[in-house]
Amino acid sequence: MPRPHPPEFRQRAVELARMGEKPVAQIAEDLGISDSCLRNWMRRADLDEGRRNDGLSTADRDELVKLRRELWVAKLEVEILKRATAYFAAENVLPK
């Protein structure tokens, strides 16, 4: 897997592509990246800047990941508490 490009590089590449002076494929070739990579960066930038509404922005994706992680932890905690409750309830009911 190739190493990721810095955000500044991505931003400048998107700016060059948006100028429209050259085709996107030519700009991508000049920068040493694939055409689809540059198009993905442009799509992500459009979502983040509100130019498109057909997907999640980076902030929304980060929040979704955070919330899913919190939900997973909460479900795990509930399961632990259920087991602990069952264990202690069984301990108190049975004769010693």
Alpha helices in 1-96 (DSSP H): 7-19, 24-31, 35-49, 58-93
Class of domain 1-55: mainly alpha
d(CA 28, CA 20): 13
Structure tokens at 84: 């602990």
Q: Where are the domains of the chain?
A: 1-55, 57-96
31-51 pLDDT, tens digit per residue, is 999 999 999 999 999 988 888
DSSP state of 4: P
4-16 pLDDT, tens digit per residue, is 889 899 999 999 9
Task: Name the pTM for this structure.
Answer: 0.62
Q: Which position has the token pair 């130019």? A: 51
